[in-house]
Every structure is written in structure tokens, then in C-alpha cells.
Structure 1
Amino acid sequence: MEISVRLGGVPLMLSCAHNEYMLMYMPFACCDMPLARVGVSAAEVERLLPLYEEGSTAPYVEHMELCTRACDALLPFERAIFHGVAFIWRGQAWLLTALSGTGKTTHYIQWKRQYGSEISIINGDKPVLDFSEEGISVHPSPWRGKENMGSMRSAPLGGIIMLKQGQENAMRRVEPKEVVAELFMQFLFTRSTPLDVRRVCALEERLLQTVPVWQLVNRGDEASARLCHDTLAKEMYNA
């Protein structure tokens, strides 16, 4: 099965051996001529299956591996798939990023509970970043995470919040050199060629030159969301 989808404005052809996740791709379907083809062989899925969490199925592995290969295909067009929760607040997109299991979704839910009328989701796990002359914008993708949070909205990127778990809530602006290694790991590409690594390094440099980054050490409670909200409001909008 094949479906042509548009990710961050770039049409790609996805080749799927399984149809279990086809409904995830349908909102992104387009009729444009694809600029690249993306697929995962059955042999590759079988080889990678043991590396996934116990109980994972071949359709799930194919779905997840299509993500990193789609990112590879997007890199020549200055787009990339990024690991994080993306939501819109005050007309800009904000990225919550961290290692898996650190509490990105929990933190977003705390925001939603307290500031629900102010925010809207873009993507709950793997949004697309578009690097253009006008700036960096954030777009949805079919890879929405376990909670399946997402929409078809897009917005210009306002900043990045890097989450860490801790016993106390504390938030501070960080310098690029403090987060360059960790941030690089959030770009979801296969790392299969030196050229792609250089491309991502160039995109990360633009990212760090364009938008501010904060570190939020947090307990995953309501107070951590209030601290994040109020810090951004003060530092970005003097509110």
C-alpha cells in the first residue's frame, strides 16, 4: 500500500506493508507529486522488532520506523521531525522536549488543565520543524504518541522547554552550549549517513540561533506548569 502525504509542506510517498496505521496518515494525504519515497522492508522490520518494547507488533515497528525515514527524506528540504510535545500559546508554537518517560505529556496536561482556553495542541510526540528564511515553524505529523494528541494546526516557533525531573520546580534560560548535545538527540533521523548528520547539525545551529531555550526541572505537578507559564509570560511578553 502506498499513500502520498504532505509533511511540513513537502509531499512524500509512504510505502506500507500493513494498514493498521493508515488512518493516521489519511489527514495528511495529498495529490502532489512526491519528492521522495519512504518505506521499511519486511526484513528490516523483523530485524528491529526485538529492539522495541516487549509486545510491540510488526505494524507498530513499521509505523515508527517510517517516522525516522521520513525525517531523512525531509532533511534536504530543510525540514526535520523532532521529538517533543508541540502546542500553540499566544500565537506561537512551544516545544516541550526531553528523554522518553520524563513527563512531557504530563506537563502539557497540567498546562491544559490550568490554561485550557489559552492553548491548543499541534502534535503530542513528533512534530515537523520547517526551517525557512522567514523563521522556524512547527507542523503536525501522523506520529502523535501513545495518547494520540494532535491537530492539523501550525504556528511559528516561539521557544523550547527542556524538561528534567526533580524534587523541586526551577526554571532558567540556558545557553546553547549547555543543551547542544541533548537537543541533537531529539532530531528523529536514522543517522545513517554523514551528510544527514551534517544537515541536522546545521539545522540545530539555526534552531539555537533563532529561538530561546529554557530548562525546567520539575515535579510534574500543577505548580511546575504555573512556573513555566509565568516565566514565559514574563520573559517573552513582559506579562
Structure 2
Amino acid sequence: MVSVSSIYDEVHSYCRDYLTDEEAEYSVSTSQEDIDFERRKSDRENELEGLPVVDHRDSYLEELAVYRRIAEKMLDYDTVLFHGSVIAVDGEGYLFTAKSGTGKSTHTRLWREYFGSRAVMVNDDKPLLRISGGKVTAYGTPYNGKHRLGSNISVPLKAICILTRAEENKIVPISREQAYPILLQQIYRPADTVKMQKTLALADDLADSVKLFRLGCNMDISAARIAYEGMNACSAEYIKVE
């Protein structure tokens, strides 16, 4: 449980589905300096990608600053912020990750269409992953993407799948060495050296604690069936690691 002290009320409105009366385990607060940092960071990223500078509201930037504070504190609880889309089927979570624009949200939408009520969105953008005892638990958070797709639930994470575009749908297991570069890219990496060391250790544990796959996907609804069956199959077709 987290207590948030913010400058703008919009932060609390953004998190309204996660409000609780339970006692907070820790608290975070923000300042104008944090907001200014988020603005500079956003401007730098847009410049690197050749995008126009966006004049974000301070209240929006504070929402980002709050989650950054939470993400860094959650390392003390063996928990990392991860960029990906988590969907649960029959109570088990599957995380899809890729570079922005590849189609993570589109793919999990196919899962919801294919599985119907069996599928529940956990978080469509930035879930928290707790890594402990060889197991990973995915948590829904208010920071669930522009379409606000997510639930205030937690599920055991069964697999992580790196999504790519392809003409034909195909899923294969991959080794931790193959998966690690993008896992490290998609995990939140703090600037503080000590916190970064803890993040790297948790990234190692994450790669060892769940099944890892790569999916070539053409965004036909059959991709949902192929991905699910591939991540749950026991046949030799899927056991061999590339």
C-alpha cells in the first residue's frame, strides 16, 4: 500500500480505482523539480525520435513522476516496473513485450476476442512484477496505457513473449540469452547505481523464473490461439529452443 502526497489532485483521480483505507507501507511525494525533470526527459525522447515537442500539463507530468518514485521504492520489495501488456487466461498471466508500435495492445485485444470471458486484462502498459522464490506475480496498476485497460488484481505470470511482426503466425521458445537484451530494455532502469544493481539482479531472476518465447504475428485472430497453445504446449514442436 502506498500513500501519495501530490501537488495536483489529478494524480489521485488517475488512481481512483486503486484507493484503499488500509494503512500505507510507505509514502511518496513529488515536487516541482520532479515535474520539471519529467518535462526535460519527455523533450529529449521526442527529440531523439524526431517527434515534435509536446507541452504536457504539469499535472500529467506529476503522474509520471509519482510512478517513477513508486517504481524505485518497489525494488525494496523485489518488484520491478516493466513495459508490456499482461493478460490473464483462467487466472494465469502472459506478458507480451516489444518495441513501441509493434502491436502489444492489438495482440492482447485478439486474446480478449478469442477467449471471451476467460481473458482479463491485468495491465496494458506498465505492470509491476514481483520476482521471488522462483516465481513471478504480475500486478495491475493505474498506469495501464492510453486506453486504460487493466484490473486491480494480481496473477501468477506464466510466460513472457517477445512480439514481432511476421506474415505467418509462429511461436518458439527462446533462451534467456536471447530474451535478456529486450527484457533489460523494457524494465525500468533507475539512475541510482545501487538501485540499478538491484534491478539487474531482479532482471536475472525474472529471466530464470518464467518461460520465454518469441512470437511472429500477423495480427489475425488465429495469432491468439497459436500463442496460447505454444506457451502451454508440451510437444517437441515447441520444446526445442532456437
The answer (yes or no) to whether the contact 2:135–2:210 under 8 Å persists in 1 is no
The answer (yes or no) to whether the contact 2:38–2:65 under 8 Å persists in 1 is no
Matching residue of 2:72: 72
Give the number of aligned pairs: 226
Deviation at 1:203, TM superposition (A): 1.0
Question: In structure 2, how many angstroms separate the alpha carbons of the residues matched to 1:174 and 1:128?
Answer: 23
Residues 211-222 of structure 1 aligned to structure 2 (within 5 Å):
211-222=210-221
Matching residue of 2:232: 233
Matching residue of 1:9: none
1:29 paired residue among 8, 19, 23: 19
* TM-score normalised by structure 1 residue count: 0.85
Question: In structure 2, how many angstroms separate the alpha carbons of the residues matched to 1:187 and 1:233?
Answer: 25
Deviation at 1:115, TM superposition (A): 1.4
Question: In structure 1, how many angstroms separate the alpha carbons of the residues matched to 2:91 and 2:25?
Answer: 30
Question: In structure 2, how many angstroms separate the alpha carbons of the residues matched to 1:145 and 1:161?
Answer: 19
The answer (yes or no) to whether the contact 2:96–2:161 under 8 Å persists in 1 is yes
Identity of aligned residues (%): 23
Matching residue of 1:173: 173
Larger CA deviation: 50-59 vs 149-158: 50-59
Give the counterpart letter for 1:27 in structure 2: D
Residues 81-120 of structure 1 aligned to structure 2 (within 5 Å):
81-120=81-120
* TM-score normalised by structure 2 residue count: 0.84
Deviation at 1:48, TM superposition (A): 3.0
Deviation at 1:32, TM superposition (A): 4.7
Question: In structure 1, how many angstroms separate the alpha carbons of the residues matched to 2:101 and 2:229?
Answer: 24
Matching residue of 2:138: 138
CA RMSD of aligned residues (A): 2.2
Structure with greater proportional helix content:
2
Structure 2 residue runs without a partner (length 5+): 47-53, 238-242
The answer (yes or no) to whether the contact 1:49–1:57 under 8 Å persists in 2 is no
The answer (yes or no) to whether the contact 1:67–1:188 under 8 Å persists in 2 is no
